Amino acid sequence: MVTQVQIIEWLKVFAFVIGHHKEELTELDAAIGDADHGINMDRGWKKVSGILPSLEGKDISSIFKTVSMALISSVGGASGPLYGTWFLRASSVTVGKGELTARDLSEVLQAGLNGILERGKAQIGDKTMVDVLSPAVSVFEQAVNENKDTVLALGLAVTAAEGGLKDTIPMVAKKGRASYLGDRSIGHQDPGGTSAYWMLRSLYEVVKGSQI
């Protein structure tokens, strides 16, 4: 089970990780985007950090919905709507829940991915966060179907996400600002995919019981 307390801890850790990697994310975005992904994400997750104490004791759906609204209202560029949509869709499949089974978590990950696919209109191979999230969701679902425990399933998902992230480097960007560069986007890791990887990695580390 993933508890409500672990969900809040995950969000705290992810906010810390974003702050720690802000410059890296900004440098990645400077190569193929607007050089603001790290700045925007850090601003949004600092806002989330500030409201987390007020969410203790709330059900997981309420936590996700509040995070969604905070991100949409404070993160600029495409990241705010995309991450906001991820958490909003996650809230829709966790109503009334104070803890999540592995199957519940699979539904959360799938719902979040579906929201991003619908909002961003990206596909695998477009050099976006979809290239990171999609393989992770598939691997996690397969592990759950094989009755693997949540920690092991998350570990496998994070490995798949890391592979997907590395796969973005040789891709030609087909969505967003980076798509304007054409072949010049080759050789650069996708910044949105990088932050998505850290989101999943943070969840894994918290559920596993350690910190990054």
- Residues 18, 202 contacting (CB under 8 angstroms): no
| Mean pLDDT to the nearest integer, 49-67 | 96
pLDDT value of residue 51 = 96
Mean pLDDT of 22-43: 91
Spelled out in words, what is the top-level CATH class assigned to the domain 2-208? mainly alpha
Mean pLDDT of 92-103: 97
Q: Can you say how many angstroms the Cα of residue 38 is from the centroid of all Cα atoms in its chain?
A: 14
* Backbone Cα Rg of the chain: 16
The alpha carbon of residue 205 and the mean position of all alpha carbons in its chain are separated, in whole angstroms, by: 14
User: Looking at residue 199, what is its pLDDT?
Assistant: 98
State mean pLDDT over 5-14. 97
Say how far apart CA 77 and CA 90 lie, in whole Å.
21
- Of 70-74, 84-88, 176-180, which gets the smallest average pLDDT? 176-180
* pLDDT 10s digits, 101-150: 999 999 999 999 999 999 989 999 999 999 999 999 999 999 999 999 99
The reported pLDDT for the residue numbered 193 is 96
Kindly report the average pLDDT of the chain as a whole number.
Answer: 93
Average pLDDT over residues 47-64: 96
Per-residue DSSP letter, 58 = S
pLDDT tens digits for 165-185? 999 999 988 877 666 677 877
Q: Identity (one letter) of the amino acid at 87? A: F
